[in-house]
């Protein structure tokens, strides 16, 4: 029974005939390192515009879903990010339980994991526990796995191919259903990582691109790697016309 539930939820997220997704993340905490952009400041307005753009899924925190998603119930798949934390590893904590995610009607639980720092084992133990519990309920686990500099130096997320490959393998071997990892910025190296994975590999949207054309090119490159898609945050809600941006990124992803 749990297997059927997992398949049903994953098919809602990966509903496009190509098997790829273009999803949007709005799961950033209020202490966003670059201040408070308008796209995070006005959450309800941004969510309305994101839904209008019709992405394959939206990733958000529990409270955001509770307050802003009732009017969109059943209209768009959404994923609850369970972890609050920072790449610099100054704090890390779960913001909700697996049962709460099920009760909210979400299609998957996302677990952020920071690797190559002093508390890597704590993150991996937590991810392993979530996988075990989620399996009982047929809830897909999407691991957002980010390697950082040596011992978390500066909290800088690494996109070096060897670090990203390590992140992907960690997710695979622990048993997640989908792995989201930084894009290496290179088609060949990311293609190699994707080719070795038995589960979908989704690229993180990365730091803000200089312009929309750069974002579109990144999506086009990810498609060439054979990846399962991309989850984009600031490169969507960082623009005033969110539906237009999503439309262009979807065109790059699917057409």
Residues 143 and 169: their CA atoms lie apart, in Å, by: 11
Residues 6+ apart with CB under 8 A from 247: 53
Residue 106, pLDDT score = 97
pLDDT in tens, 86-98: 766 667 889 999 9
Which residue in 104, 77, 101 sits closest to 23, CA to CA? 77
pLDDT in tens, 103-137: 999 999 999 999 988 889 999 999 999 999 999 99
Residue 154, pLDDT score = 58
Asked if 112 and 83 touch (Cβ cutoff 8 Å), the reply is yes
- Going by pLDDT thresholds of 50, 70 and 90, the confidence category of residue 189 is very high
DSSP type of residue 151: G
Report, as residue numbers or ranges, the catalytic residues. Answer: 27, 146, 180
Which residue in 221, 226, 219 sits closest to 192, CA to CA? 226
pLDDT in tens, 138-185: 999 999 999 987 554 556 889 999 999 999 999 999 999 999 999 999
Q: What is the pTM of this model?
A: 0.94
Tell the CATH superfamily of the 2-254 domain.
Aldolase class I (3.20.20.70)
Spans of all domains in the chain: 2-254
């Amino acid at each position: 029974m749990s297997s059927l539930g997992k398949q049903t939820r994953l098919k809602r997220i990966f509903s496009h005939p190509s098997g790829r997704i273009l999803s949007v993340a709005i799961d950033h905490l209020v202490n966003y390192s670059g201040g408070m952009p308008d796209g995070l400041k006005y959450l309800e307005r941004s969510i309305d515009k994101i839904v209008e753009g019709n992405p394959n899924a939206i990733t958000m925190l529990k409270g955001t879903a509770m307050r802003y998603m009732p009017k969109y119930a059943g209209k768009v798949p959404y994923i609850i990010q369970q972890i609050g934390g920072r790449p610099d590893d100054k704090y890390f904590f779960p913001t909700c339980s697996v049962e709460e995610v099920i009760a909210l009607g979400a299609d998957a639980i996302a677990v952020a994991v920071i690797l190559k720092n002093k508390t890597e084992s704590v993150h991996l133990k937590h991810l392993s526990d979530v996988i075990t519990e989620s399996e009982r309920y047929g809830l897909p686990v999407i691991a957002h796995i980010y390697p950082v500099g040596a011992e978390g130096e500066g909290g800088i997320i690494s996109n070096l191919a060897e670090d990203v490959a390590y992140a992907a393998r960690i997710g695979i071997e622990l048993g997640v259903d989908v792995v989201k990892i930084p894009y290496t910025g290179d088609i060949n190296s990311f293609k190699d990582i994707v080719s070795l994975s038995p589960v979908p590999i989704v690229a993180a949207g990365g730091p803000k691109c200089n312009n929309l054309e750069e974002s579109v090119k990144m999506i086009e490159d990810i498609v060439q790697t054979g990846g399962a898609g991309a989850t984009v945050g600031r490169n969507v809600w960082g623009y005033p016309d969110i539906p237009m941006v999503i439309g262009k990124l979807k065109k790059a992803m699917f057409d």
